[in-house]
Structure formats: structure tokens, C-alpha cells
Chains A and B, each alone.
Chain A
Amino acid sequence: MHTPLKKKRLRLLAAGAAIACGALAVAPATAFASPVVQAETTSDADASTFRIATSGFVDSFNPFISIYLLPTNTIRYMYESLVQNSAEDGSPTEGLAEKWSTEDGGKKWVYTLHKDMKWSDGKPITSADVKYTYEQMMNVPELGTANGNLVTNFASVEAPDDLTVVINMKEPQAPNPGSEIPIVPKHVWEKIDKPAEFMNDSDVVGSGSFLLESYKANESITLKANPNFWRGAPKVDKLQYVYYTSSDAKVQALKAGDVDFVSDLEPTQFKALEGVDGITTHSGLGRRYASLTINPGYKTRDGKEYGTGNPALRDVEVRQAIRLGTDTKTLLDKVLDGQGVSATSFIPSSFPKWHLSDDDPAIVKFDPAAAKAKLDKAGWVVGSDGIREKDGKKLEINFLVTATEPVEQATAEFLVPWMKDIGIKLNVESTDSDTSSTRSMKADFDMMFTGWSVNPDPDYQLGINTCMNLPTNEDGTGGTTQDGYCNPEFDKLYKEQRSELDEGKRQKIVHDMLAMNYTDTVQIATWYKNGLEAYRSDRFDGFTTQPKDGGIIANQAGYWGFLTVAPVEGSSSTSGQGATTGLLIAGGVVLVVVIGGVIFYLVRRKNSADVE
């Protein structure tokens, strides 16, 4: 059946197919040409876009209501507050206000704003904006969602002239009331219908170093530099948060050059990035503390007992014995891989002014013999199985750990033998984080892990350790207590420090309080974990850490981290091209498959034609 005509037709077909394939090959090449050009043009812009990998939640960018970490950190860049937490040690430094003073023993705070400051839309920043912001928070409960607790002591706010703000306090207050509250432009916000529902997620008018330009949920947050920022315009044009769900993906994105900065790394990820070309790792002193909280017997504010804590733990000697039998140095080295600082109290060492120093006389060392002596003194006798008993009851305590936290699991591994050594049986119970947070609230535990991020001023953290903040209800609601701690002596000192304007004296009182809490042992502070971060040092440098000496870059109590970041001379983006190369390869593969398919088809056609 092979006629010359048919052969000719086949050849024609093959030639046609070849031409079609050629066209196909050229088409993607031209198609790819445009993104390549695009990638090159954006790479110029990229040289001054600093990209940060994130996985944080965004509720809104409204400074009155936003409570999640990522938007709160973003808002720090968007709106300046009256007083800023310094990079050095977090102590109050200039914000919108250049100076301030107190009158009437701390009942009146007077601020003077910098001259000639402008909002990003060019309108002047005046004391009326400050007054408006504070009064909104004081008078509209919904607008107090984010920082309402900071204005509860405000009696009234005055703006006698454009540059002066006066805050009248109900009670004398030593912590600077002007910090932490973002000031919004009155001329913009007073026109908003329902400010409590306003998302504030595009074209923000602000006073900070960077302003929100756009937000794509679960994709990216883009901030642009504010040329009107009173400290001067930043050195990069944009900050961009790029979303990654898993922390492993973040690490890969940094390696690939898709982002320039990652934070909150695990020690293993951190190690894997050490020595990678173009990447610098940074382990900085954080502002979080972790502790083992011991249930001392929870009570409501009016003295009703609740919770399921082991009664043995109400005895301070038993709690102290647990501390003496716990080797926090080893925990830090083995469990946290040494990436942190040994803790003394709930005020981290990154705030050296308030932190309880290691050589304070109250501090005790790991000493199992002393622990045993304490338990002997408390009447707990070692039984035949090595576990202590009193009145026929064994000294068994329950340790609640979160199943998804390797650090807690590992801590338990160490604690069990240590406790057994001093005669305490530790029962480890593993559960999910929601259950453990509920059980913590209901005081349904003996011992468990906890941790907080602490602000530069210690007032809040001290406050939640007073009897005043015990819950009002027996289900644990209606209070914000940290460890169920209540000591009238501590409360008395709390009041004193709150109105002590002499910083040296206040410092002394705070140290006394921390030592008192240490001795009462409702918690054993284990460590201040370092923030593990890494960045593309081939593209950017010039970060300002907080504290300036060895601190963290992201998650500061301030906006210093990315304020001074600058592109490295002669750097350019590596992203884009990489993806384009990949795409070209993929395109090539597709092309081969298509060509192969066409040839295959032609051959098949020929074969079946032969049969029929």
C-alpha cells in the first residue's frame, strides 16, 4: 500500500510538524522574554525592597483593635507613639515627643512634640492628634481592644497648644504613659464611620518610617518608606512581608533568595544556615522568658480556692525543693542547645535595668542535697520505693507538657530523674496546646511550662503577679494572673514602684519584688530564649538590634530592626531569574513531550493506516 504519493504526504506532514514544533519552540522563548525583562527591571527595584518571610496572622492593621504579633509589629512602623522604647535597653526615648516631664508627683505628665513634623500626606502632626487618639481609646470600649489596659489610669488628656500634650492620671504613675500607643491622624480617622471595624489595609496615612501600601491576605504585606518620617527617610524603598506556611519553606526561601530575612528559626534550621554563602545567621538576646510554673493553690480574688493542684505544693518548702533539684543550666545547654541565657525571674536580661542579676543574694544554685534537706524538714519521709511520703500520701506531682513542643518533652526527660533523685515522682502528661492553655486557666495542673514576651517597662508583668489580678471567677476568668501568685508584701511594693519617679529607687524596689517572687517559688524561670534569625548579607546589612548590644532584629519592642537596613553596594536580586530558569527548563520538558507526542502520533497514524 506504500504509494509514493502517500510517502510524499507523510513527509509533508512531518515537515509541517517540524515547522509547528519550531514555532512552538520560538513561542515560549518570546513568551519568556517578557518576564525575563520584567525580572531584570524588578531586580533593580528589588535592590531596595527588603523581603521578610512571615507566617503571622493578620486581624487588621487598625492600631486600635489589632492584637496579633505580625500586624502589631507592622503598626510599630506605621504610627509613631509619643514615646519610643530605645534600642539600647528599651528605656523611654524620643518619639513624637522630644521631651517630657512629670508634675504633681507623677499625676500629671507633660509632653512637648517635635516641631514641624508631618503626616505622610503632608498635614502637620499636632497635639490634637494625640488627644484624639487617647480619648477614642478612653471613651469607646471597642477601640480599647488592643491597648485599652494602657489608658485605664488616664483621667483626662489636654492639648493646650499645638506642641503640648498633658495627660492627667487618676493615680500617680512612674511608667511613661506615652509609650506603646500608636498615634493616629485625627483628620483621617474622624471621617471613618465605624473606626472599630475599619481594616486600615491600604494607602495608610501615618507618621512612622514605613507605611502600609498593600496587603494581600496570605500572600504579602507591602510597606513603603515614608519620606516625612521625623527621624529621616529609611534607606530602602520598601519592606515586604512574604507568606510562608511552614518554617522549613522559609529557610528554603532564604537559601533561594526569594526572601532576605527569616526569624524564629529552630536551632537545627539555624545550624543548617550557618556558613551558607551569602547568608549571615544571628542569635540575639530576646525579650521572652520561659518558666516552669508550679500550682501554689489558686484562689479567686475573694479567697475561694479552685483548681486541682496537689496540696503538697502549697508548702513553699516543697516548691523551693523542686527549684533546688532542677538544673536550669543543663536544661539550657541540652534542651535549648545553649541558644539562650539562664533566667532568674520573669524580667529578661535584655532589659538590664530591671532584670534580677545572677549574683542577687536570693538566687540559689542547683543543689539536690539542699533539696532533700528541705523536703526532710517539711516532713516528707523517703519511702521504700524512694518516693517520699507524708500522712500516707506519696509525693507525686503531675507535669503537663504540650505534645507539639519538643522543648517541653525534652525538659520532662531531664526533670523526671532529677525529681526522682530528691524523692518526688513526676508524672508526665502530654496534651495539645489548647487543652494545656485551658487547664492552665482552670488551675487544673501541678506543674507546667509557660512563657511570656515582656515589655521594656516591667510594670505590666509585675502587675499580673499581684493579688489584684487574681481571677474573679472559679473557672479562672476575670483575671490575668501569671502564676496564681498572691503576696500582700509584693502588692505593697508594686504600688510603691508604680509611683516612684526616681528611677534608681524604682529599680531597687523592682529588684526586691523579683527576689521576693523568686523565694516564694511559684515558678522556676528556666531561660531567656535567643531569637534565631538569618538574612541575605550579600544583599542587605545595617540592622539595629534591641538591645543594641547582642539583641534581636525582628520582634523588638520598637521599630529599630529594619529602620536602618540598607542595600549592600552592588547587590542585586537573585530571585526571579532562578524561577525563570526553572520555567525555561519546564518549558523545554513540555516541548520535548509535545514534539515526542506529535511524532508518536504520526507514526501511529502511519501504522494503523497500513492495517486498514
Chain B
Amino acid sequence: MSNSVPPSTTAIATSAHAEEHTRDTSAIRYLFSKLGGAAISLGMVIVLGFFAFKILPGDPVASIAKQRSMSPEQMDMLREQFGLNKPLWQQFIDYLVNVFTLNFGESYVYKTSVSSLIAQYFWPTILLTGTAAILAIVLGLWLGQKAAWKHGSRFDKFVSSSSLVLWSVPTFWLGLILLMVFGGTLHWFPTGGMRSPNPPTDFLGASIDIASHMVLPVITMVAVVYAQYLMVMRSSLVEEMSADYLTTARAKGLRDVQVRRRHAVPNAMLPTVTLIFMHLGGLIAGAVTVETVFSWPGLGKLTFEAITGPDLPLLQGTFVVFSTIIIAMNFIADLIYRQLDPRVRRA
């Protein structure tokens, strides 16, 4: 799972202009520059989505027909169906037209449109990673602020180091261990999938069925990623704690808890919120491993299957979707950061 996302450009505030601008024009300029950046990234992703998979070695038809009794005529027919007999530029134009009409062509393996596949597998991924993200954020921030407040204490050392240990654990390995212990051996939770093969039909039963399938993958994801929220929250709160206004607050006679909750934490949230958004994109892309271990029918598993196929249109589709989510999240992070931090607004 990719835990790291490249730092946003906003982290470095754009160089201050000497002249005064009105707030409106600078806001619009800021919006457009970020939007432009996102658009350029997206354009590059789309072009890369075509060529990166074109330079992959191997003839998709040969791979698909591998070890099957197929005549050359049958294979030629498949090539024609996949549009592989067309010249490269023609394939590229077809691909561009497809992308701009939000259609990534037809999957080689599933024989249906890639966009319908993505639409179908999108929600399970959102359900899984969304739940995991919320839990990881809540857990990370809560532990992070506590650790920072008592930083240097035994609690801090334990919480920070245990989260870092979990963060360094390979997701695949952790998932497999949980699967073996709580699935295979103890039989507490299902060993894979999102629903039982014969799920209950009533709403409550169906929800519980899905929830029981979510427990292990969600725990795996949360365990691996909450550390990043914890560390960000911890470090920004530690930085905040030396600020004078906290001394003032204490001098007013406020209790420690209140100083922390009402004064320090809100300020420390600034960098944290933007980082949360930036990490969300990475979290969704990181679903590939967890979904593969737990056979969760989402975009991650779809990508894994597309790689083993290999199913090029499907790979292109999931690649563009994952990249778009990351770009969009970074863009939102930029906007939120500006909204929250007056220093960026003024710059």
C-alpha cells in the first residue's frame, strides 16, 4: 500500500508579492493556478495511461490464448475485436475519444464496457476505504493529540512506536495473518468477499452480512494507515504547544484538558486536515492489496485481475480513475488549506 503521497505544492507558500492585491483576484488566480495544475496532471495521466500499458511486453491475445487450442484465425479474430490490428496512432486516438466520453473501451476479459465495470466496483471500494479512513482518522487524531500533549511520556512512546511498527508492517502480510487467525482458525469472520454466497434478503440481515465481511479488511487498513494521522497530529500539536497563547490560556486558569481541546487542537488541525485529504487518494489506491487479500469485489481487486489478465483497457481505466481520485483529493486539499490558513490567503 502506498502510504506516502508527494507533498502538495501548497506546503511551500507561493512567494509573496510586494504589491497589494485585492482578495478576490488573488483567490481566483489561486483557484485557476491549482485547477490548471490539476488539469495538466490529469492530461499527463491520460497520455501515460495509454503509452505505459502499450510498452508493456507481450501480446495480449497470445497471453489470453496461452495454452489453448486456438487456430491462428481464431487469434486474428480476437486481435480484430480488441482493435489491436489498427496502427498505434489510430489506437491512441480511439483511446482519447473513449476517455473523453468517459468510456475506456471494452474489457478483453469481461467482454463488457470498462466504465460499467468501474461503476460497479467503485462503491464497494468506497465503502471499504471510506469506513477504514474514518476510523483511521478518528483513531489517529485522537491518539495523536493525546500523545503530543504528554509528549515524552510512557504513553506517548508506546502509542507512537506501536503505530510506527504497524505502519511498517506489509499490508499483505498483516491481512493474511488476520485472515488465518480470525477466519481460518477461529472462524469468527468470513474468509473473503463482500457478501455470503447466499446472503440474507432482508435489509438488516444483508447489512450485518456485509459488516461481518468488512471487519478484517477494515482492521487491516486502519492498523496500517492510522500512524500517519497520528504522527501529523502529534507533531503539529507539539509545535503548537510552545506558542504563547497557550500560556495565556493557562494563566486564565483553564484546565489542561480545556487548553488542549479548545485552543491548541483547533490550531494544530490546520496542516492535519489538508494532509488527511491528500492521504485519502493514496488510501483508495492502496485498496489494491487489502482487496486482493480479502477478495473484496472492489476497484483494487479489479486492478489486480486486470494485471493478471492482462486486460489492457481495464488497466488503463482503473489507472486513470485512481490517478484522478488522487489529483482531485490534492486539489481539494489545496483549496481547504487556503481556506483554513490565512497565511496562504495573504501570500
Please report the C-alpha to C-alpha distance between residue A438 and residue B186 in the assembled complex, in whole angstroms.
45
Residue of B56, B64, B192 touching A253 (CB-CB under 8 A): B192
**Which 10 A-B pairs give the minimum distances between C-beta atoms?**
A582-B188, A434-B58, A578-B187, A252-B184, A253-B191, A218-B297, A255-B184, A435-B57, A582-B189, A220-B197
A–B complex contacts, Cβ < 8 Å, 25 sampled: A34-B205, A35-B208, A38-B200, A46-B198, A51-B197, A65-B111, A67-B64, A67-B70, A144-B77, A149-B69, A218-B302, A218-B305, A248-B180, A249-B192, A249-B294, A258-B190, A432-B57, A434-B63, A435-B58, A437-B63, A438-B57, A451-B67, A480-B71, A579-B189, A583-B189
Within 8 A of A (CB), among B24-82: 56-59, 62-75, 77-78
The chain A residue with its CB closest to the CB of B75 is A477
A437 touches B64 (CB 8 A): no
B267, chain A: closest CB distance, angstroms: 20
User: Hey, which bits of chain A sit against chain B, CB under 8 A?
Assistant: 31-32, 34-35, 38, 42, 45-46, 49, 51, 57-60, 65, 67-68, 141-142, 144-145, 148-149, 152, 197, 199, 217-220, 222, 240, 242-246, 248-249, 251-253, 255-258, 432, 434-435, 437-438, 441, 451-453, 455, 460, 471-472, 477-480, 574-576, 578-583, 585-586, 604, 607-608, 611
Contact residues in B for A68 (Cβ distance below 8 Å):
109
B13, chain A: closest CB distance, angstroms: 37
Contact residues in B for A141 (Cβ distance below 8 Å):
73, 77
B200 touches A34 (CB 8 A): yes
A81, chain B: closest CB distance, angstroms: 15
A583 touches B208 (CB 8 A): yes
A245 touches B293 (CB 8 A): yes
Contact residues in A for B183 (Cβ distance below 8 Å):
249, 252-253, 256, 258
B62 touches A257 (CB 8 A): no
Please report the C-alpha to C-alpha distance between residue A327 and residue B75 in the assembled complex, in whole angstroms.
37
Contact residues in A for B121 (Cβ distance below 8 Å):
218
The chain A residue with its CB closest to the CB of B189 is A582
Supposing A252-B180, A582-B182 touch, asked if A246 and B295 sit within 8 A by C-beta, the answer is: yes
A34 touches B202 (CB 8 A): yes
The chain B residue with its CB closest to the CB of A585 is B188
A244 touches B191 (CB 8 A): yes
The chain A residue with its CB closest to the CB of B200 is A38
Supposing A59-B110, A60-B111, A256-B183 touch, asked if A477 and B190 sit within 8 A by C-beta, the answer is: no
Per-residue contact bits, chain B 103-128, to A (CB 8 Å; 1 contact, 0 not):
00000011110000100110000000
Supposing A45-B198, A608-B255 touch, asked if A434 and B297 sit within 8 A by C-beta, the answer is: no
Supposing A34-B202, A253-B183 touch, asked if A243 and B110 sit within 8 A by C-beta, the answer is: no
A219 touches B194 (CB 8 A): yes
Contact residues in A for B302 (Cβ distance below 8 Å):
218
Interface size class of B (residues with CB under 8 A): 35 or more
Please report the C-alpha to C-alpha distance between residue A31 and residue B121 in the assembled complex, in whole angstroms.
28
A253 touches B69 (CB 8 A): no
B146 at the interface (CB under 8 A from A): no
Contact residues in B for A145 (Cβ distance below 8 Å):
74, 77-78
B196 at the interface (CB under 8 A from A): yes
B110 touches A217 (CB 8 A): yes
Supposing A148-B71, A148-B74, A149-B74 touch, asked if A437 and B204 sit within 8 A by C-beta, the answer is: no
B208 touches A31 (CB 8 A): yes
Contact residues in B for A220 (Cβ distance below 8 Å):
193, 197
B74 touches A586 (CB 8 A): no
Supposing A477-B72, A583-B211 touch, asked if A249 and B194 sit within 8 A by C-beta, the answer is: no
Please report the C-alpha to C-alpha distance between residue A241 and residue B191 in the assembled complex, in whole angstroms.
14
Which of B111, B292, B302 is packed against the most chain A CB atoms within 10 Å?
Answer: B111
The chain B residue with its CB closest to the CB of A68 is B109
A161, chain B: closest CB distance, angstroms: 32
Contact residues in B for A455 (Cβ distance below 8 Å):
69
B215 at the interface (CB under 8 A from A): yes
A479 touches B295 (CB 8 A): no
B212 at the interface (CB under 8 A from A): yes
Supposing A249-B295, A480-B70 touch, asked if A217 and B310 sit within 8 A by C-beta, the answer is: no
Contact residues in A for B211 (Cβ distance below 8 Å):
583
B118, chain A: closest CB distance, angstroms: 12
Supposing A42-B198, A148-B74 touch, asked if A453 and B67 sit within 8 A by C-beta, the answer is: yes
Per-residue contact bits, chain B 160-195, to A (CB 8 Å; 1 contact, 0 not):
000000000000000010011011111111111111
B346, chain A: closest CB distance, angstroms: 36
Residue of A435, A578, A580, A582 touching B215 (CB-CB under 8 A): A582
B119, chain A: closest CB distance, angstroms: 12
B258 at the interface (CB under 8 A from A): yes
The chain A residue with its CB closest to the CB of B300 is A245
Which of B63, B196, B198, B202 is packed against the most chain A CB atoms within 10 Å?
Answer: B198
Which of B110, B112, B196, B258 is packed against the most chain A CB atoms within 10 Å?
Answer: B196
Please report the C-alpha to C-alpha distance between residue A249 and residue B117 in the assembled complex, in whole angstroms.
24
B72 touches A222 (CB 8 A): no
B240 at the interface (CB under 8 A from A): no
Contact residues in B for A471 (Cβ distance below 8 Å):
72
B301 at the interface (CB under 8 A from A): yes
Contact residues in A for B62 (Cβ distance below 8 Å):
437-438, 441
B191, chain A: closest CB distance, angstroms: 4
B187 touches A246 (CB 8 A): no
Contact residues in B for A435 (Cβ distance below 8 Å):
57-58
A57 touches B204 (CB 8 A): no
Contact residues in B for A434 (Cβ distance below 8 Å):
56-58, 63, 310
Contact residues in B for A578 (Cβ distance below 8 Å):
187-188
Contact residues in A for B179 (Cβ distance below 8 Å):
248-249, 252
Within 8 A of A (CB), among B245-284: 255, 257-258
Please report the C-alpha to C-alpha distance between residue A2 and residue B141 in the assembled complex, in whole angstroms.
34
Supposing A45-B198, A437-B62, A611-B255 touch, asked if A38 and B188 sit within 8 A by C-beta, the answer is: no
Please report the C-alpha to C-alpha distance between residue A45 and residue B109 in the assembled complex, in whole angstroms.
33
Supposing A218-B302, A479-B72 touch, asked if A248 and B205 sit within 8 A by C-beta, the answer is: no
Please report the C-alpha to C-alpha distance between residue A45 and residue B183 in the assembled complex, in whole angstroms.
23
Please report the C-alpha to C-alpha distance between residue A246 and residue B205 in the assembled complex, in whole angstroms.
27
Supposing A438-B59, A576-B196 touch, asked if A152 and B109 sit within 8 A by C-beta, the answer is: no
Contact residues in A for B304 (Cβ distance below 8 Å):
245
Contact residues in B for A242 (Cβ distance below 8 Å):
192-193, 197
Please report the C-alpha to C-alpha distance between residue A477 and residue B74 in the assembled complex, in whole angstroms.
12
B110 touches A35 (CB 8 A): no
Contact residues in B for A585 (Cβ distance below 8 Å):
188
Please report the C-alpha to C-alpha distance between residue A32 and residue B301 in the assembled complex, in whole angstroms.
30
B309 at the interface (CB under 8 A from A): yes
Contact residues in A for B67 (Cβ distance below 8 Å):
451-453
The chain A residue with its CB closest to the CB of B308 is A57
Please report the C-alpha to C-alpha distance between residue A437 and residue B75 in the assembled complex, in whole angstroms.
15
A441 touches B59 (CB 8 A): yes
A219 touches B78 (CB 8 A): no
